[in-house]
Structure 1
């Protein structure tokens, strides 16, 4: 990933927070059939291993877990807010006419090694944790849990999936939010995003502005 210094995000907590709030990652692999990508909701455990772990599961019918061996190098891409930025939103454009369109976004690339867990206990624990986390996020008054369903049905569903783990070797964050522009242009962009209801992207850009 091309990464100019002014867009580089190196704070571990900021990278972890993006993954936690946008957990659907694109798992990119290189197998016998070439490049492939699987989109999976991941659990991040930042305290595990040297640099943290990502955990997820795939369908047993998915060839990924049979075509790749433990230790295979993989990349997981997490994307947060993104959107088009018009040159008209920069005050300086109307004076110099030297601005062009761009696209702003926040992404984290996680590099690591794959480990397969074809183990019912592992999968059951993972699914239980993922369910608790996302039912809480959905603000369900009565959060769904596995014991709400027939035990035989759940056992059968768990047998149809396989656990995977990515041992993180490094994370690369790119928060491209017009940090290379004049302060007035950055503020003008934030105001225009807010006016268009793109509050998440506006808030992300606002966080890059000097405080006070």
Structure 2
């Protein structure tokens, strides 16, 4: 990923928070190119000399698991019929992309626009790319632990109070029905090798323009997304506003 120095984020806590707050990642990997007889017997009979690699992507909610040894893993589950399972067994190298808050930015928000007219539309965003090796797991106890962790993480984001109802637990599911569902999924564990993250939030602009953008978010949007964008922009701007 292209990451200018000003937009690079190496703070693991920020990366982990993005994953926790926006757990629906996109899992990417590709199959190993097959040629000759290997290509023929894998089904590519029309072009036995093919060297193309098939790309695959699956949207998956993930849970970031921290082990006692300090290592981190991404865990999730896939439908048992997902063709990406075989691709991951064949080539476990993969990448997961997490998209944080993002928004269009109009040139109308820049106060200095009237002075130079050298501003064009852009996009504020944050993203985290996680790289690692995938392992497919079919152990029922592992799957139950993963489902509990992911469910508890998301249920804890729900508001408190009698009018919202109690937090739901996996154990509330009918056991036979739960057993039936678990038979249709496999676990996914990704041992993380490295993480890249980019928070593109006008770090290169003057405080005057950044305050104009904050004002635009607050006045024109004025919703939860605007609050997220303002918070993220203030946290990552390198100068005093």
**Residue 146 (structure 1) shift:** 2.5
**Residue 208 (structure 1) shift:** 2.3
- Structure that is richer in strand per residue: 1
**Residues in 2 aligned to 1:191 and 1:138: alpha-carbon distance in whole angstroms:** 29
**Per-residue deviation, residues 11-47 of structure 1 (Å, max 9, x unmatched):** 1111111111111100011126711111111010244
CA contact (8 A) 2:29 2:87 kept: no
1:126 maps to what in 2?
Answer: 146
1:4 maps to what in 2?
Answer: 4
Structure 1 counterpart of 2:80, from 16, 38, 60: 60
**Per-residue deviation, residues 143-175 of structure 1 (Å, max 9, x unmatched):** 222332221111111111100011111111100
Which has the greater radius of gyration?
2
Provide the TM-score with structure 2 as the length reference. 0.82
**Residue 88 (structure 1) shift:** 1.6
1:165 maps to what in 2?
Answer: 189
Q: Does 1:208 find its partner at 2:236?
A: yes
2:40 maps to what in 1?
Answer: none
Corresponding residue SS for 1:79: strand
**Residues in 2 aligned to 1:183 and 1:113: alpha-carbon distance in whole angstroms:** 42
CA contact (8 A) 1:70 1:114 kept: no
Q: Does 1:135 find its partner at 2:155?
A: yes
**Residue 201 (structure 1) shift:** 1.2
2:170 maps to what in 1?
Answer: 146
2:102 maps to what in 1?
Answer: 82
Range moving further from structure 2, 133-142 or 93-102: 133-142
1:26 maps to what in 2?
Answer: 26
**Per-residue deviation, residues 82-140 of structure 1 (Å, max 9, x unmatched):** 11111121111111111111111000000111111011111111111111221121235
**Per-residue deviation, residues 161-195 of structure 1 (Å, max 9, x unmatched):** 10001111111110000111111111111111111
**Residues in 2 aligned to 1:72 and 1:193: alpha-carbon distance in whole angstroms:** 41
CA contact (8 A) 1:71 1:115 kept: no
Corresponding residue SS for 1:188: helix
CA contact (8 A) 1:18 1:108 kept: yes
Corresponding residue SS for 1:201: helix
**Residue 211 (structure 1) shift:** 4.8
**Residues in 2 aligned to 1:169 and 1:72: alpha-carbon distance in whole angstroms:** 12
Range moving further from structure 2, 82-91 or 138-147: 138-147
Q: Does 1:190 find its partner at 2:214?
A: yes
**Residue 70 (structure 1) shift:** 7.0
Spell out structure 1 runs of 4+ moving beyond 3 A.
Answer: 46-51, 209-212
CA-based RMSD? 1.8
CA contact (8 A) 1:70 1:116 kept: no
Query: How many matched pairs?
Result: 212
